[in-house]
Structure 1
Amino acid sequence: MKTKPGAKYTADFKVYYKGGRTETVDVKGGPASRDFSLRRKLLEKAIGQEVTVMEYNYGEWRRKR
Structure 2
Amino acid sequence: MIKYRETYEAHGRNLLAINNAIENYKKALKLDQNNTLCHYRLGYAYHLMRRLMEASSEYEIVLRLDPP
TM-score class, shorter: 0.3 to 0.5
TM-score of the superposed pair, with normalisation by structure 2: 0.31
Give 1 or 2: higher strand fraction: 1
TM-score of the superposed pair, with normalisation by structure 1: 0.32
Give 1 or 2: higher helix fraction: 2
